[in-house]
A and B are shown apart, each in its own frame.
Chain A
Amino acid sequence: MKLSGPPSDIPAARRIPSIFMILVFVMLILSAAALYQVIEAYRSTRTLDLANSVLSLSAITISVYMFFQLKAKPLKLGFEMQDVLTTVECPQCGHKNIREFTRGDFIFKELEPCEKCNESKIISSIYLKPEEKQKKRKKTPF
Chain B
Amino acid sequence: MPMSAAVQAVSQGIFPVGNDLGWIFQLIWLVFFVVFMFYGQRIQMTVMLREIAGSLYKLRLMRDKGRSMAISRIKELANPNEDPTPRVDRFLEHIYIQPVDLDPVGIIQRLEHIIDVRDLRFRDDVRSMAPQADETQIDNLTMVLEAALDLNQIYKIIRHFYLQGKKTLSIYTVMQLQMILPIVMKQSEALANALRAFTLGQPFGDGAGCLVAGRLMHGSEKREIAKDTVVGDVMVEGRRAYVLKAKGPGGRVGRPGEAIKRILEENEGKVSMIILIDAAVKLEGEKVGEVAEGIGVAIGPAGVVDKYKVEEIATKYKVPLNAIIIKEDLGDAYSIMKKEIVDGAEVAVERIKQLIREKTKEGDTVVIAGIGNTMGVGQ
Query: Contact at A2–B214, with CB atoms within 8 Å?
Result: no
Instruction: Identify the closest chain A residue to B64 (Cβ).
Output: A4
B339 with A128: CB separation less than 8 A: yes
Do residues B203 and A3 form an inter-chain contact, with CB atoms below 8 A?
no
Residues of A within 8 A of B64 (CB): 3-4
Question: Is B21 in the interface zone, CB < 8 Å from A?
Answer: yes
Whether B57 contacts A77 by the Cβ 8 Å rule is: no
- List chain A residues, Cβ under 8 A from B191: 78
Q: Is B218 an interface residue (CB 8 A)?
A: yes
Q: Is the CB of B53 within 8 A of A13?
A: yes
A77 touches B201 (CB 8 A): no
Q: Which residues of A contact B93 (CB under 8 A)?
A: 1
Q: A-facing mask of B169-203, CB < 8 A → 1, else 0?
A: 00000000000000000001111110110001111
How would you classify the secondary structure of chain B's contact residues: helix, strand, loop or mixed?
A: helix
A99-124, CB < 8 A from B: 101, 103-109, 122
> Which residue on B lies nearest to A81, using beta carbons?
B196
**A101-B202, A127-B341 known; 15 other A-B pairs, CB under 8 Å?**
A3-B63, A3-B152, A4-B68, A10-B53, A16-B53, A37-B22, A75-B58, A78-B188, A79-B66, A79-B195, A106-B203, A107-B214, A122-B218, A125-B337, A127-B342
Q: List 7 A-B contacts (CB under 8 A).
A: A3-B63, A3-B92, A16-B50, A77-B189, A78-B193, A103-B201, A107-B214
Residue B285 interfacial (CB < 8 Å): yes
Residues of A within 8 A of B (CB): 1-4, 6-7, 9-14, 16, 30, 33-34, 37, 75, 77-82, 84, 91, 101, 103-109, 122, 125-128, 130, 142
Return chain B residues, CB-CB under 8 Å to A125.
211, 337, 342
Q: B89 to A3, Cβ gap below 8 A?
A: yes
